[in-house]
Amino acid sequence: MHSFVVNLGVVTLLTAALSVKELLKWYGKEVLALNKVSFDVDEGDFFVIIGPSGCGKSTLLKCVSGILDWNDGDIYIGGKSMRDVPAYKRDIALMPEAYALFPHMRVYDNVAFGLRMHGRPEDEIGKEVENALKLVGLEGFGKRWPSELSGGQRQRISLARAIVVNPKVLLLDEPLSHVDYRLQRKLMEDFKLLHEELGNTWILTTHVQEQGLSMAETLLVMNNGVIEQIGRPEEVYKWPRTVFAARFVGNINLLHGEVVSQEKGGCAVKTELGELSGTFAGDSNLIGRKVAYGVRPENIVINPKATVDNKVGAKLTGLYYFGELVEYMFKTEGAIEMKARTSPVECKLGEKYTIGWDRRDASILERPSMIEGLNIEDVIYGR
């Protein structure tokens, strides 16, 4: 919960905005939704929790906001235990997944709701509501009914209702799941700007990897009630700690194999495509171990230089244009699919090519998941 920062010889004690310790949450006796989850969120962070549907994201936010009780562990906000603190006394606002605006209240009253609950005087409320509506770009919308708003506008009003109480921590549960793709992009930019302007701590959940990667300052990857990895997005993308994190964050070609030799920083792995070399960031002895071998599509070169570390022959079976980038689908002799993503190159469907990549661009992963006892091949192939 606390971290020390040494600044010009002065030791300062920093308290995390939110600290979750060994949080355990069961629904009945059947569903273990959070399995001893622990993490800290720094003051002012834009913290994104990413994971597949049903992995426990909403449950976590509900526990933090005070809607749900938990079985064991604790939650601290600004260093204070929330165990016996009711929802309305936590310095937190939750923007729920569905907009949850009160349909029988005009926009103004919807946004004013939290301030009235806190017993603020009406003239102050008026100013705060107008300011919140301005911040979300909907100045002058106070008289409308929720039914007179588009999906994007409802989302913004829901956001205005959350930020108007000036919470220390703002929780946004899947805020982009009910709007179309174009609007998602726009809202993502707006959220980032607003976060910068307000300077408080934002925690957002999503099951969409692109949103997690592009918005987060810190990314938490969750799987079945367990944390797979926490880090800066580029760190998680480049150095996934588990096969699950590698698969869930970004695209990756994954193979499995057995380590045949190891030296500092790297290994040779016997895979379905022959012996391939890759980077291993850990220090365990992997010789003879079953591992995953992953290479991101943007690191695969079509017709590589002779000096490239790994090469395989493959037939081009598909290609998809993404503007300046093209995704090329290859099938190797053993019918393994490999995807490359590069700027356009001269290539014909059905023709055979050599594809290659350097060992520094291939990761060797020893852990399938932070969940104990999973089979590495099952996680690689998403079974």
Binding residues vs ligand ADP (CB under 6 A): 27, 31, 33, 51, 53-59
For ligand ADP, the closer CB: 60 or 255: 60
For ligand ADP, the closer CB: 33 or 246: 33
Q: How far is the CB of 316 from ligand ADP (least distance, A)?
A: 38
Q: How far is the CB of 63 from ligand ADP (least distance, A)?
A: 10
Q: How far is the CB of 98 from ligand ADP (least distance, A)?
A: 13
For ligand ADP, the closer CB: 132 or 221: 221
For ligand ADP, the closer CB: 59 or 299: 59
For ligand ADP, the closer CB: 52 or 265: 52
Q: How far is the CB of 30 from ligand ADP (least distance, A)?
A: 8
For ligand ADP, the closer CB: 57 or 90: 57
For ligand ADP, the closer CB: 108 or 248: 248
Q: How far is the CB of 67 from ligand ADP (least distance, A)?
A: 11
Q: How far is the CB of 28 from ligand ADP (least distance, A)?
A: 6
For ligand ADP, the closer CB: 51 or 297: 51
Q: How far is the CB of 68 from ligand ADP (least distance, A)?
A: 8
Count of CB atoms situated within 10 Å of the CB of 112 = 22
Burial of 93 (0-12, 13-18, 19+ CB in 10 A): buried
Q: How far is the CB of 173 from ligand ADP (least distance, A)?
A: 7
CA 47 to chain centre: 8
